């Protein structure tokens, strides 16, 4: 007989690992990636590959030469960050800018805080917002979804539905008038609109959501709360004045709502630990998004909303505790 192994209980474990969870997220993003390639063509492929390769490379280099750790890029988290960063930029973004975004995402957003598990902000969004502020022109010239093409930085560009809406309302046009310039809700659902690479097709993102739920990677709370809050808030505004506010469906199907709610607000590291905390966090993201969209300077506010609420997560975790068993005194 060999030596017996001794350890305290429990003696069995679920076969889930961090790596499996990360690769499940990658799988869940594949439908959205496929839709992007279908609508934008080569640009989508180049942007994704650049972001993924540079994120992995920066993580490896930083761990190996600066932190002098055993590199852990095989855990899949840098891969997720790379794909999410690509999803958050237009598909005509020059390679150099993407690489800068990756460096900020991984270097500043993640590794400077100690790597996976320690970063307060979603790394991909740190990269995205950095680029948005540093390269506002390149970050807001949106290729028109023409169907697969070989164009990359030379793609024909146009405004996003949110941009049209923001500018139109600002110029005093009525919403009903502006709606004629915007694709129908059904087209928006399938992703036939300008926008960041991965955010366009709500249908693909919802398929990914279903996969994440089935695989128990995430719970329904954050996505449903964020989407619900935006729907209710914009619904109220729309009912009060339908000529100066777009309908809730328009808000849900455009911009980064689906991508943000399903894939970025749910980032384990930067979202609350308790269900009660998830409610506060989700409602916060929804409210801030609508405030920025309707009253702010930018047409879109999902990224900012998530980053702002990320900052509150440590506070939420410290003060919002799950209800303990036996807390209510029955006796």
Judged by CB under 8 A, which stretch of 8-16, 27-35, 86-94, 293-301 contacts another protein?
A: 8-16
Helix (H) or strand (E) holding 157: strand 157-158
Q: Please state whether the peptide bond connecting residue 51 to the residue before it is cis, i.e. omega within 30 degrees of 0.
A: no
Q: Is 240 in the site for another protein (CB under 8 A)?
A: no
Residues numbered 190-219 forming contacts with another protein, rule: CB under 8 A = 219
* Of the candidate residues 61, 99, 269, 308, the single one contacting another protein (CB under 8 A): 269
Residues numbered 127-166 forming contacts with another protein, rule: CB under 8 A = none
CA distance 83 to 53: 10
Which is nearer to another protein, 88 or 270 (by Cβ)? 270
Helix (H) or strand (E) holding 158: strand 157-158
Which is nearer to another protein, 7 or 241 (by Cβ)? 7
Which is nearer to another protein, 92 or 266 (by Cβ)? 266
Q: Is 70 in the site for another protein (CB under 8 A)?
A: no
Residues numbered 307-326 forming contacts with another protein, rule: CB under 8 A = 321-326
* Of the candidate residues 59, 75, 199, 300, the single one contacting another protein (CB under 8 A): 75
Least separation in angstroms between residue 5's CB and another protein is 4
Q: Is 9 in the site for another protein (CB under 8 A)?
A: yes
Determine contact, residues 149/286, Cβ cutoff 8 Å. no
CA distance 153 to 131: 16
Q: How far is CA 113 from the centre of its chain?
A: 20
CA distance 282 to 287: 9
Residues contacting residue 243 through CB under 8 Å, at least 6 positions apart: 174, 175, 176
CA distance 98 to 77: 18
Q: Is 223 in the site for another protein (CB under 8 A)?
A: no
Q: Which residues pair with 142 in a beta bridge?
A: 158
Least separation in angstroms between residue 260's CB and another protein is 19
Please report, as ranges, the residues that interact with another protein according to CB under 8 A: 1-2, 4-14, 16-18, 20-21, 72, 75, 77, 115-117, 219, 268-269, 272-275, 321-331
């Amino acid at each position: 007989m060999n030596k017996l192994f001794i350890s305290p209980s429990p003696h069995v474990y679920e076969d889930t690992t961090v790596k499996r969870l990360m690769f499940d997220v990658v799988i869940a993003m594949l439908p959205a990636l496929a839709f992007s390639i279908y609508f934008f063509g080569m640009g989508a492929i180049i942007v994704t590959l650049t972001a993924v390769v540079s994120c992995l490379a920066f993580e490896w280099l930083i761990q190996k030469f600066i932190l002098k750790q055993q590199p852990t890029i095989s855990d899949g988290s840098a891969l997720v960050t790379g794909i999410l960063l690509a999803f958050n930029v237009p598909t005509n973004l020059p390679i150099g800018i993407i690489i800068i975004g990756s460096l900020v995402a991984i270097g500043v957003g993640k590794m400077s805080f100690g790597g996976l598990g320690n970063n307060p902000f979603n790394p991909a969004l740190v990269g995205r917002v950095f680029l948005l502020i540093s390269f506002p022109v390149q970050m807001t010239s949106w290729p028109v979804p023409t169907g697969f093409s070989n164009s990359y930085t030379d793609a024909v560009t146009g405004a996003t539905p949110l941009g049209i809406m923001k500018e139109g309302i600002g110029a005093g046009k009525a919403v009903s008038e502006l709606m004629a310039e915007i694709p129908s809700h059904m087209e928006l659902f399938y992703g036939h609109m300008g926008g960041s690479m991965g955010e366009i097709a709500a249908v693909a993102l919802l398929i990914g959501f279903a996969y994440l739920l089935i695989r128990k990677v995430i719970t329904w709370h954050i996505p449903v709360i964020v989407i619900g809050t935006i729907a209710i808030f914009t619904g109220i505004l729309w009912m009060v004045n339908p000529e100066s506010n777009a309908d809730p469906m328009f808000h849900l199907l455009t911009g980064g709502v689906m991508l943000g709610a399903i894939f970025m607000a749910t980032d384990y590291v930067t979202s609350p630990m308790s269900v009660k905390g998830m409610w506060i966090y989700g409602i916060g993201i929804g409210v801030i998004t609508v405030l920025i969209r309707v009253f702010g300077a930018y047409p879109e506010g999902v990224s900012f909303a998530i980053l702002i609420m990320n900052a509150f997560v440590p506070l939420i975790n410290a003060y919002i505790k799950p209800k303990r068993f036996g807390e209510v005194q029955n006796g």
